[in-house]
Chains A and B, each alone.
With several copies, the nearest count.
Chain A
Amino acid sequence: MNDTIPFDNDPLPQAEPQSVADRLAAEALIVDVDGFEGPLDLLLTLSRTQKVDLRKISVLDLARQYLGFVEKAKELRIELAADYLVMAAWLAFLKSRLLLPPDPTEDGPSGEDLAAHLAFQLERLQAMRNAAAQLMARNRLGRDIFVRGLPETVERVKSVTYTATLLDLMQGYARIRTRDEFRPFVMDRESVFTMEQALERMRGLIGFAGAWTDISVYLPEGWDNDPVRRRSATAATFAASLQLVKEGKAELRQPGTFEAIELRRITED
């Protein structure tokens, strides 16, 4: 790359463009400064005045042109954005590096390396611009190429498949067939005489029990024929009797094992 940067011994120390046409062009550039997309864009435009392949561009010339442009802008009191000035400073530095013989004590990249990089950046930007132009010039959808005018939408059909296994089936059947066996326990109220019922009945009757009386006398009517009903009524009446004894309203006695249980009221005096 180095050989592509000609070190012309340009006698003109200042950055003035060489011809009237160039000068006019530079002024046109300044007027148009807002139209540039940054310093690189400006450099690329300036490089066109060299009318050479970007690979053979004279970066030194370009730096001069740019610095001249910035000078001119200052004279015309045109405010340049900061990045234009940063580029100007950098190009001034590059220019000095390119013009002065390399200082062996200094490290860092040589002027040639920096110049080559700038040339590369310009070439790459130009290449991208060309590519963009080529891209935009392609046959484009909606302008040159067209899609189906009446697209058919894909209908989404959701179908549901139901499944069941033989086990499901058998379990289902088993569930139904055994429902009776599984039914919750419910007392058969028909044949049950509760203690509460017996107690209520006995409270009403106890007043008359001045003498010892067999508690079977207190069984409600109609509960002594059916054995199931009699059992329930007997148990309830006995439990109610115990309750009355507990309350101190009656006393109980049983003369002997399996003999009749007798009840008598306690008179309060």
Chain B
Amino acid sequence: MNDNAEHIGKEEKSLFAAPPMGEQERMVEAVLFASAEPVTVRDLEARMPHGCDAAEALVHLRKRYEGRGVRVMRVGDAWAMRTAADLSFLMQKETVETRKLSRAAIETLAIIAYHQPVTRAEIEEIRGVAVSRGTVDQLLEMEWIRFGRRRMTPGRPVTFVVTETFLDHFGLENARDLPGLKELRQAGLLENRPLPGTPQFGDGEDEPEADAGQSELFED
């Protein structure tokens, strides 16, 4: 029957019974696949041999594609085949580009790491330059910093602290592991001697503040 159906022209076919449902299902499948737009049941039947029941074929086809990578979907009063929504990630070609963090971002991040919790105004004071919103947003987005407790001072400014993601990335157990200025100097990262009488962060005076910071580092 199947073979016959293929060799007999459309007109003659109408004299015979409609093709078996399995065959009708194949037809609907092929038309939906190749069509550039959704196809109505009426259109389907107009294209299929006489006596076909496209609606029923669609029910079968739809069941067949259940849970597959491709779905038979209703679009208005027409039908179409689409890739499964959960596989949409396959339709994207991801290219990952690794870029060095900008100098502004590194400096801001460093200040937050060494001085946390720290307000934006404090960061600006230390850097001596305004901190752009984009820089802070970028660090927040990267999840290297997050908002800490509000400072209990006028205006109740928000503070920033570094996150666990930050510690992970830099291989630190906690922010206290960051080397102090003295160690930076010993490591040759600071070349010149400080001016006498210049207070140094991380040198004694800052310790209590840094300590206070740590306790609220992972608060929620």
Bound together, the chains give a CA A181 to CA B129 distance in angstroms of: 17
B197 near A146 with CB under 8 A, answer: no
> Taking the complex as formed, is A48 at the interface, i.e. its CB lies under 8 A from any CB of chain B?
no
> How many residue-residue contacts, CB under 8 A, span A and B?
252
Q: Are A170 and B179 CB-contacts (below 8 A) given A40-B129, A139-B88, A158-B95?
A: yes
> Taking the complex as formed, is A252 at the interface, i.e. its CB lies under 8 A from any CB of chain B?
no
A180 in complex: contacting residue of B104, B114, B171, B195, CB < 8 Å: B195
**A residues less than 8 Å from B171 (CB atoms):** 138-141, 144-145, 166
Q: Are A172 and B169 CB-contacts (below 8 A) given A154-B92, A159-B96?
A: no
Chain A interface size range? 35 or more
Nearest B residue to A38 via CB reads: B129
A sample of 26 inter-chain contacts (CB < 8 A) reads A38-B128, A39-B128, A108-B197, A114-B195, A120-B188, A124-B189, A128-B111, A132-B109, A135-B110, A138-B179, A140-B98, A144-B85, A148-B33, A148-B36, A150-B35, A151-B36, A152-B34, A156-B93, A157-B92, A161-B97, A166-B170, A166-B171, A170-B187, A173-B111, A176-B128, A178-B194
Q: Known contacts A144-B88, A180-B198; can you find 18 more A-B pairs with CB under 8 A?
A: A41-B128, A108-B197, A109-B195, A127-B184, A135-B106, A140-B170, A144-B85, A146-B83, A147-B34, A151-B35, A156-B92, A156-B95, A157-B95, A158-B94, A160-B97, A161-B97, A176-B110, A177-B200
- Chain B residues in the interface with A (C-beta under 8 A): 30, 33-37, 47, 80-85, 88, 91-101, 103-107, 109-111, 113-114, 126-129, 138, 142, 168-172, 178-181, 184, 187-190, 192-198, 200-201
